[in-house]
Amino acid sequence: MPAPIASRAASGSYPPPDLLNRTPWSDAAAASKDRLLNIAPLAVCVNIPLQSGAGGFPAALYDALSREIAGQPDCHRQRPVSQLMWRNPFYRAGLGDLTAAMHKLGSHFRLLSEAHEYCAEVDIFQTTEEQVALLRGLGFNQLLMTFTPAALASDLHGGSALLAKRMRALRDYGFTSLGIKLVYGFDAQKPQQLRRLIATIIELQPERVYLNDALERYHWDPLAAACASSNDLQDHFTLLFDALRSAGYRVLGNDCFVLPGDALAGAQHRSRLRRTLLNYNASNAADLLGLGPGAYCQLDRLYRRNEPDPEAYCDKVARGEPLAVAAHYLDERGQLLRLVIDQLLCYHRVDIGYIDSRYKLQLTALLKQAIAWLAGRLSGDPSSLARFNEGACMHLTAAGILHLRAICNAVASQGLGDRGGL
Q: What is the C-alpha R_g of the chain?
A: 24
Neighbour count for residue 307 (Cβ, 10 Å)? 22
CB of 95 to other proteins, least distance (A): 4
CB of 91 to other proteins, least distance (A): 16
Of the candidates 97, 44, 5, 14, which has an alpha carbon nearest to the alpha carbon of residue 295?
44
Is the torsion defined by CA of 362, 364, 370, 373 positive or negative?
negative
CB of 205 to other proteins, least distance (A): 17
CB of 98 to other proteins, least distance (A): 7
For other proteins, which is the closer residue by CB, 20 or 161?
161
For other proteins, which is the closer residue by CB, 12 or 94?
94
Contacts of 50 (CB under 8 A, 6+ apart): 88, 91, 221, 222, 223
For other proteins, which is the closer residue by CB, 140 or 220?
140
Q: CA 6, CA 109: separation in Å to the nearest integer?
A: 48
CB of 60 to other proteins, least distance (A): 10
Q: CA 235, CA 309: separation in Å to the nearest integer?
A: 34
Of the candidates 416, 408, 355, which has an alpha carbon nearest to the alpha carbon of residue 385?
408
Beta bridge partners of 144: 121, 179
For other proteins, which is the closer residue by CB, 177 or 189?
177
For other proteins, which is the closer residue by CB, 156 or 211?
156
Provide the terminal-to-terminal Cα distance of the chain, rounded to the nearest Å: 60
Single-letter amino acid code for the residue at 92: R
Task: Quote the distance between the C-alpha of residue 44 and its chain's center.
Answer: 10
For other proteins, which is the closer residue by CB, 130 or 332?
130
CB of 263 to other proteins, least distance (A): 22
CB of 266 to other proteins, least distance (A): 26
Helix residue ranges, H only, 173-231: 191-204, 222-225
Q: Are 252 and 204 in contact (CB under 8 A)?
A: no
For other proteins, which is the closer residue by CB, 17 or 174?
174
Q: CA 99, CA 94: separation in Å to the nearest integer?
A: 9
**CB burial string 7-20: b at 16+ within 10 A, e below:** eeeeeeeeeeeeee
CB of 161 to other proteins, least distance (A): 8
Instruction: List residues binding other proteins (CB under 8 A).
Output: 63, 94-100, 103, 127-130, 132-134, 136-138, 162, 165-166, 168-169, 172-174
Q: What single DSSP character describes residue 262? A: S
CB of 335 to other proteins, least distance (A): 42
Q: CA 101, CA 69: separation in Å to the nearest integer?
A: 9
For other proteins, which is the closer residue by CB, 127 or 254?
127
Q: Are 368 and 382 in contact (CB under 8 A)?
A: yes
Q: CA 366, CA 381: separation in Å to the nearest integer?
A: 17
For other proteins, which is the closer residue by CB, 168 or 358?
168
